[in-house]
Structure 1
Amino acid sequence: MIDIENKTDLEIDFTKLETILKSLTKKEIELIITDNDEIQEINKEYRGKDYPTDVLSFPYEEMPFSPLGSIVISKNFVEEKAQEFGHSIQDEFTLLFIHGLLHVMGYDHEIDNGEMRTMEEKLINKFSLPKSLIVRTEGQ
């Protein structure tokens, strides 16, 4: 189950997100949709990085019946990247959700040996989505 707090006017169908979540875990997740100003504040406070970003993930301490964690997504990035890459806002949001969810589950593309990229690609293919954040920046 996804506990959603949408602080914006972004309209998202959460059905596919629920299906993706259920395919990976039985745990609950918190999903917050916000704007660049607020995500920048969160990024600065929790990561020491004073700029907006597309998605932030906060895993919770593993305890029986505890939620998996929180994902924060910026509406502004969703809209910008959907336009830039020529796909729907729904698809871009779903890509960011997958990226955040995998981080909450313990994957980290910055230090793993491609495990997160592999899992992301599997989910992208399974749910018929465009290329992920990792895939689109692969050669950079």
Structure 2
Amino acid sequence: MIYFENQSDLSVGGLQIEEILQSLSDREVEVYIVDDEVMAGLNLEHRGKEGITDVLSFPCEAVVPNLPLGSIVMSASLIAEKAREYKHSIEDEIALLFIHGVLHLLGFDHERDCGEHREREEELIREFDLPLSLIVRNA
């Protein structure tokens, strides 16, 4: 199950993130789309980096029954920018960021692994007939 909250002015239609999550986990995930100010604050607070980033993942680390897998926060402005740049829909960009974020919640880490994150992401992109993701297009 997904708790989805769009805290931005970005217009979002039908999403396939619930279907993607069901293929990966039976735990709940919270998804937030936020403006640049909120994203920049989170990026600085949690990563020590100035400015915005496209997606952040916050796993629930406590082992408590029925706790969500975690939260995924996405930048509304970067969703719109990347969708325009790569000529696909807002919804596809959200799905790509969701895949990237949920894999982080599941323990994948493209900055430290030996390509497992990228490989799993590519499998999901093909499975859900999505355009190239940020990890693949930045390879």
Q: TM-score, normalised by structure 2?
A: 0.95
Identity of aligned residues (%): 53
CA deviation vs aligned residue, 1:108-137 (integer Å, no higher than 9, x gap)? 001101110011001000000001111101
* Distance in 2, Cα, partners of 1:116 & 1:27: 20
Alpha-carbon deviations, 1:46-72, whole Å to 9, x = none?
111111000000000132211000000
User: How far did 1:106 drift?
Assistant: 0.7
Aligned to 2:72, what secondary structure does the other structure show?
A: strand
Provide Cα deviations, 1:74-113, integer angstroms capped at 9, x if missing partner.
1100000011111111111110111111111110001101
Instruction: Report the equivalent of 2:17.
Output: 17
* Paired position in structure 1 for 2:124: 123
AA of the residue aligned to 1:45: E
Which residue number in structure 2 is paired with residue 46 of structure 1?
46
**Partner Cα distance (2:11, 2:102) in 1:** 20
Tell me, what secondary structure is at the counterpart of 1:24? coil
SS of equivalent residue, structure 1 residue 110: coil
AA of the residue aligned to 1:73: M
Measure, in 2, the Cα distance between the counterparts of 1:113 and 1:13: 35
Q: In 1, Cα distance between the equivalents of 2:13 and 2:20?
A: 13
Structure 1, unaligned stretches of length 5 or more?
Answer: none
For 1:102, give the aligned amino acid. Answer: L
Letter in 2 for 1:88: S
Q: In 2, Cα distance between the equivalents of 1:53 and 1:15?
A: 21
**Counterpart residue type for residue 12 of structure 1:** V
* 1:14 shift after superposition: 5.1
For residue 2 of structure 1, report the CA deviation from its aligned partner.
0.7
Match of 1:96 in 2: 97
Partner residue, 2:31: 31
Q: Does 1:69 align with 2:64?
A: no
- What SS does structure 2 have at the residue aligned with 1:30? strand
Segments of 5+ residues of structure 2 without an aligned counterpart are none
Task: Give the Å deviation of 1:19.
Answer: 0.3
Structure 1 residue aligned with 2:110: 109
CA RMSD of aligned residues (A): 1.1
**1:56 has 2:56 as partner:** yes
1:9 is displaced (CA, Å) by 2.4
Distance in 1 between the 2:6 and 2:138 partners?
A: 28
When normalised by structure 1's length, the TM-score is: 0.94
